[in-house]
Structure 1
Amino acid sequence: MQLLFFGLFSVAYTLTLMGNAAIVCAVRWDQRLHTPMYIFLGNFSFLEICYISTTVPNMLANFLSTNKSMSFVGCFTQFYFFFSFGCDEGFYLCIMAFDRYLAICRPLHYPCIMTKELYTGLIMFGWSCGFILFLTPVVLISQLPYCGPNIINHFLCDPVPLMMLSCSEDTTTQLIYSAFNAVFMSGTFLFILCSYALVILTVLQMPSAASKRKAFSTCASHLAVVFLFFGSVMVMYVSPGSGHPVRMQKIVTLFYSVITPLCNPLIYSLRNKEMKAALRKVFGSERLVHKT
C-alpha cells in the first residue's frame, strides 16, 4: 500500500508543480498577462508550489523509509512554513477578490486605484503577513511540555496532534490558537463573500448579456478555489478541540494540502480564455514557430 500511495502522490505532486509552474511562466512571459489580475494569479500559483512542497516531499520519503522520524526543530519548522503559506493563501484570495471588486464595480476608477505601487504593496503584504502572524501560535505550541509519547498519528506536524502529545493540557494555548484561526478564517472568508456579493449585484445590473457572462466566468473560477480551500480548512481548524476522528483529520488535511493545489491550475486555466491562449503561446506551436 505504501508503494501505491507513493506512486499516486508522486503523480499528484508532479502534476501540481507542472500546472502551477505553467501559470507562473505564462504570466511571466506573455506581455498580455502583465495586468494586476494575472500578476496576482502568478504569485498565487507560485505560493501553491511552496505550500505543497513543505509536506509532500517528506511524505513521499516516509513511504519508502522504515524510519519515519523527524527532529523536534524539523517538525516545528514544517509546521511554521506549512501554515504560514496557508495563511498567505487566504490573504491572496482576499487580494484577488478585492481586485475583481475594483475591476467590475469601479471600472472607470480601476486604473487610478490599482496602480503599480498598490499592487506591489499588496503582493508584499500577501507574502509576508502569514509568516508574521503565525509566529505566535508556533512559539506557544513549541513551549508546551513534551515529555511523554513522541508518535504523531498524522502525515505532517499538525498543531492538533502536537498539542495532544503535550504532558499537560494547556487550555490557554488551545483557546488562543482556536481564536486565532477563527478570526483569521472568518475574517478573510467574510471579506471575500462581501466583495463578491457586491460584484454579483453589479453584474446583474449590466445591460449586456455578453458582459454578464464574461464577469461571471472570471469570478466563478476564483470562487471555486475559495470554497475548496476555506471549506476544508474550516472543518479542521476553527474548533480543534471538537475531537475530529483521526482518519477524518488525515482525509481533510490531505484534501486541502494536496488535492486543492492540484485542482487550482485546472480551474484557472480551463475557465479562462486569456490564460489558455497564453499557455498555448508559451508552450505550444506559436513558441516553436517563433524559434524557427
Structure 2
Amino acid sequence: MLSGFLTNVSTISVPGCFLQIFFFIQLGITSRGILTVMAYDRYVAICNPLHYTSIMTRPVQLLLITGAWVFSAVCTLPANIMTWQRPYCGPNVVKHCWCDPSSVRQLVCADTSVDNIVSHSFAVVALLTSGVLILTSYVLIGVSLSRMAVTQRLKAFRTCAAHLTVVTISYSSASFVYDQSKSTKGLLFFQVRIIVAVLYAALTPFLNPVIYSLRNKELKESITRTVSRFRSKFSWGFVC
C-alpha cells in the first residue's frame, strides 16, 4: 500500500487486495488484543504487586500474546473468505485508498447481505470483547486505588496514563470508523469517509510510540539536550 502511494500505482492484483484486507484488519484487532494484555498486566501490577512475578511468568506472557494473534485471525478469516468466494463481474474500481472490505463488497455481482452481517458481527465481537476486558481491568484497578494512599494512587495513575490514552484514542477512532462503514453509503460524504479512514490508519499508530516514549526518562533527557544545543547554536549566531 505504501509503495503504491509513493510510486503513484493505482492497481493491485485480486490476491494482493485480499491479503491487504486480511492483514489490515488482523493487525488492527491484534493491536487491541495487545492493549487488553497490557491492561491485565497493569491490573496484576497494581492489585497484586507481591504476586506479579509469579503470575506474569514468561509462559503466561507468551500465551497471552499468542492468544491475541489467534483471536485476531479467527475474527478476520470468515468474512475475508466469504468475500473472496463471491463472483466479481462488474466494475473493478475500489472506491477507497486501499482495499477496504466494505468498498470491495460493493463490486460483488451477488447479494452481500450475509457477508455484511458476518463482517459487522465479528467487528462487534472484536471491539466488545477486548473493550469489556480492558474496562473490567480498570474497574478493578479503580476499586483497588480507592483503598490506597494518595502517593500510591499517583504512582499507579502514572503507570496507567499512557495506556489509557492509547486505549481512548484507539477505541474512539475505531468505533467512529465502524459506525461510518455500517452502510454502503455511510453517514458522511465519500471524501470525508476516506479522510477519516486515513487518519485512523495512520494517526493512531504514529501516536502510540510518541505517547509511550514521552514517559521515558532517557528520551526526555535526549530531547532536552537536543533543544539546548539548537538554542545555544542560534543564540551564538546572533551575538554581535
Instruction: Bin the TM-score by the shorter chain.
Output: 0.7 to 0.9
**Partner SS for 1:108:** helix
Cα distance between partner residues in 2 of 1:185 and 1:199:
21
Equivalent residue, structure 1, for 2:212: 268
Specify which of 91, 107, 111 is matched with residue 53 of structure 2.
Answer: 111
Equivalent residue, structure 1, for 2:190: 246
Question: Cα 1:197–1:56, aligned 2, differ >3 Å: closer, same or farther?
Answer: farther
Equivalent residue, structure 1, for 2:171: 230
Cα distance between partner residues in 1 of 2:119 and 2:179:
9
Question: Cα 1:172–1:239, aligned 2, differ >3 Å: closer, same or farther?
Answer: farther
Cα distance between partner residues in 2 of 1:119 and 1:180:
25
User: What is the aligned-residue identity percentage?
Assistant: 34
Query: Given that residues 145 and 153 in structure 2 are in contact (C-alpha distance below 8 angstroms), is that contact kept between their aligned partners in structure 1?
Result: yes
Equivalent residue, structure 2, for 1:60: 6
Question: Cα 1:279–1:130, aligned 2, differ >3 Å: closer, same or farther?
Answer: farther
Please, what TM-score do these two structures have when normalized by structure 2?
A: 0.84
Equivalent residue, structure 2, for 1:23: none
Shift of 1:56: 3.2
Shift of 1:143: 1.4
Amino acid at match of 1:125: G
Amino acid at match of 1:56: L
Amino acid at match of 1:215: A
Asked if 1:197 corresponds to 2:143, the answer is no
Asked if 1:101 corresponds to 2:43, the answer is yes
**Partner SS for 1:134:** helix
Specify which of 93, 99, 123 is matched with residue 157 of structure 1.
Answer: 99
Shift of 1:199: 1.0
**Partner SS for 1:95:** helix
Amino acid at match of 2:148: M
Question: Cα 1:78–1:171, aligned 2, differ >3 Å: closer, same or farther?
Answer: same
Equivalent residue, structure 2, for 1:4: none
Asked if 1:187 corresponds to 2:129, the answer is yes
Query: Given that residues 75 and 122 in structure 2 are in contact (C-alpha distance below 8 angstroms), is that contact kept between their aligned partners in structure 1?
Result: no
Question: Cα 1:145–1:253, aligned 2, differ >3 Å: closer, same or farther?
Answer: same
Cα distance between partner residues in 2 of 1:164 and 1:97:
37
Deviations 1:191-242 (A, max 9, x none): 11111121122123211x2221121122121111111111111222367333
Shift of 1:187: 1.4
**What is the count of residue pairs matched by the alignment?**
221
Look at both structures and tell me which one has the larger radius of gyration over its CA atoms: 2
Larger mean CA deviation between 198-207 and 96-105 belongs to: 198-207
Shift of 1:59: 2.6
Larger mean CA deviation between 191-200 and 87-96 belongs to: 191-200
Shift of 1:125: 2.4
Cα distance between partner residues in 2 of 1:128 and 1:186:
17
In structure 2, runs of 5+ residues without a counterpart are 227-240
Cα distance between partner residues in 1 of 2:73 and 2:2:
20
Query: Given that residues 228 and 256 in structure 1 are in contact (C-alpha distance below 8 angstroms), is that contact kept between their aligned partners in structure 2?
Result: no
Query: Given that residues 91 and 126 in structure 1 are in contact (C-alpha distance below 8 angstroms), is that contact kept between their aligned partners in structure 2?
Result: yes
Specify which of 124, 129, 132 is matched with residue 71 of structure 2.
Answer: 129
Cα distance between partner residues in 2 of 1:238 and 1:110:
39
**Partner SS for 2:111:** coil
Cα distance between partner residues in 1 of 2:203 and 2:77:
26
Shift of 1:246: 1.8
Equivalent residue, structure 2, for 1:167: 109
Equivalent residue, structure 2, for 1:79: 21
Question: Cα 1:183–1:266, aligned 2, differ >3 Å: closer, same or farther?
Answer: same
Please, what TM-score do these two structures have when normalized by structure 1?
A: 0.70
